[in-house]
Amino acid sequence: MSTITETKWNSSLYDNKHDFVFKYGEDLVNTLNPQPNERILDVGCGTGHLANTIAQVGAQVVGIDSSLEMITKAKQEYPQIDFRVLSATDFHFDESFDAIFSNATLHWVLDKEAAIDCMYSNLKRSGRLVLEMGGKGNVDGIIVALKNALQKRGLTDKAAQQVWYFPSLSEYTGLLEKRGFRVTYAAHFNRETELKDTDNGIKDWIKMFAVSYLQGIDENIVNEILTEVQDSLYVSHFRNGKWYADYKRLRVVAIKPPTSFK
C-alpha cells in the first residue's frame, strides 16, 4: 500500500507554487519599516526571501525556522544572512532584538503562550513585534470540505486533528497583553488568495499545507479525497478560471514597553 508519509516541508513546491506567502509578506515588511543597523529576528523565515528583503536596507537579520529543509535552502540562497534551525517556542539569543517579525508562521504554533514568551524575552525594551498570521475563520471553506471528506470515509481521528491555531483578534492581542506587550495596531481582514495552478489549485494547497490530514492514508483514497474536496469548492472558490483560498489574516503590531509594568 502506498501512503502519504511526508512531513518535511517541500521547499521547492513552496517557492514555485506558493510564493504568494512571501509576496504578500512584502507589505508586512513595509509595516516593519526596518532601519539600517537594526537587529531584526524573522520568526518562521521559511526559505529566507523576506529576511533578505529586510536585510537589504542594511538591517542585521537573523532568520529562524523549525524546518531543516527550509533553512538549508535559505542558507544556499542567501549565504550572507544568519539562518538557524530553531523552534518558535524555544529560542534564546544572548543579544536581544530591536524588532521581531513573523509572517504566516504563528498559526502553526499550537503552544502560542510559549512563542509569545520567547518573542517577548528576546526583544529589547521599546522593541517592536510585527506579525501576520491566519486569523479566526482562516481557510474555513477548504478545511470544512476536507474534514467532511475524511469523516465520510470513517477517518474521524484524522478529521479531528488540530493542525493550526487561528485566533480571533481579541484572543491573540489578549495573550500579547497578558505577557506584557502593548498592542498598538491590530486588524483581522479577508485576503482571498489566488492559487497558482488553474487546474489543481486547491489540491496543491492541501498537498503543501494540509498534508498532516492525509498522512498514512492510501494514495488512491487521498486522490479521491482531493478530487472530491476540490470539486465541492468549485462554486465558492473558483472564479474567472482561477482557484482562490479563503484566507483571513490577523495583523498585529505590539511594543515591549520601555519599563516593566510590574
Determine if 244 is a binding residue for ligand BEZ (CB under 6 A): no
Determine if 78 is a binding residue for ligand BEZ (CB under 6 A): no
Give the one residue of 81, 104, 109, 129 binding ligand BEZ; rule: CB under 6 A.
Answer: 104
Determine if 201 is a binding residue for ligand BEZ (CB under 6 A): no
Q: Which residues contact 61 (CB under 8 A, 6 or more apart)?
A: 40, 41, 42, 51, 52, 54, 55, 81, 82
Pick 127 or 134: Cβ nearer ligand BEZ: 134
> Between residue 163 and residue 182, which ones bind ligand BEZ under the rule CB under 6 A?
164
Q: Which residues of 51-71 are buried (b: 16+ CB within 10 A; e: fewer)?
A: bbbbbebebbbbbbbbbebbb
Sort residue 126 into left (φ over 0), alpha (ψ -120 to 50) or beta: left
Give the one residue of 209, 213, 243, 244 binding ligand BEZ; rule: CB under 6 A.
Answer: 209
HSE-CB at 246 with a 13 A cutoff on CA atoms is: 16
Give the one residue of 139, 149, 206, 225 binding ligand BEZ; rule: CB under 6 A.
Answer: 139
Pick 52 or 105: Cβ nearer ligand BEZ: 105
What is the three-class DSSP state of 229?
helix
Determine if 14 is a binding residue for ligand BEZ (CB under 6 A): no
Q: Residue type at 158?
A: K
d(CA 93, CA 34): 20
Give the one residue of 134, 155, 217, 252 binding ligand BEZ; rule: CB under 6 A.
Answer: 134
Give the one residue of 107, 112, 188, 207 binding ligand BEZ; rule: CB under 6 A.
Answer: 107
137 and 199 Cβ atoms separated by less than 8 Å:
no
Alpha helices in 88-154 (DSSP H): 112-121, 140-152
CB of 244 to ligand BEZ, least distance (A): 13
Q: How many CB atoms lie within 10 A of CB 1?
A: 8
Determine if 44 is a binding residue for ligand BEZ (CB under 6 A): no
Segment near ligand BEZ (CB under 6 A); pick from 43-51, 56-64, 133-141, 254-262: 133-141
Determine if 243 is a binding residue for ligand BEZ (CB under 6 A): no
Could you list the residues that contact ligand BEZ (CB under 6 A)?
104, 107, 134, 138-139, 164, 209, 247
